A and B are shown apart, each in its own frame.
Chain A
Amino acid sequence: MLAACGGDEASGRPTLNWYNFPDDSGALQKAADRCSQASGGRYSISYNKLPRAADGQRQQLVRRLAAEDDSLDILGLDVTWAAEFAEARWVREWTGKAKQEAVEGTLRVPLQTSTWKGKLYAVPYNTNTQLLWYRKDLVPTPPRTWAEMLDMADALSRQGKPHLVEVQGAQYEGLTVWFNTLINSAGGSILNASATEPSLGPPAERAAGIMRDLANSPAADPSLSNQMEDQNRLAMESGVAAFELNYPFVYPSMRSNNPELFKNFRWAPYPRVDANRPARPTIGGIDLAVSAYSRHPDLAFEAALCLRNRENQLTAALEGGLPPTLRALYDDSAFMKEYPFSTEVLAALESASVRPITPVYQNVSIAVSHTLSPPSGIEPESSVATIREQIDDALRSEGVIP
Chain B
Amino acid sequence: MRFRTVSSPHVTRTPGVGAIMRQVLYALVPGTAALVWYFGWGTLINLGIAVAAAVGFEALMLVIRRRPVQPALSDYSAVVTAWLLAIAIPPLSPWWLTVLGVFFAIVVAKQLYGGLGYNPFNPAMVGYVVLLISFPREMTTWLPVQSLAAHHFDLLQTAQIIFTGTPLHGLGWDAVSGATPLDQVKTQLGLGHTISEIRKNSLFGDFGGKGWEWIANWYFLGGVWLLYKRIITWQIPTAMLLSLGLLAGVFFLYDPDAFASPAFHIFSGGAMLGAFFIATDPVTASTTPRGQLIYGAGIGILTFVIRTWGGYPDAIAFAVLLMNMAAPTIDYYTQPRVFGHGGRE
Query: Bound pair: A and B?
Result: no
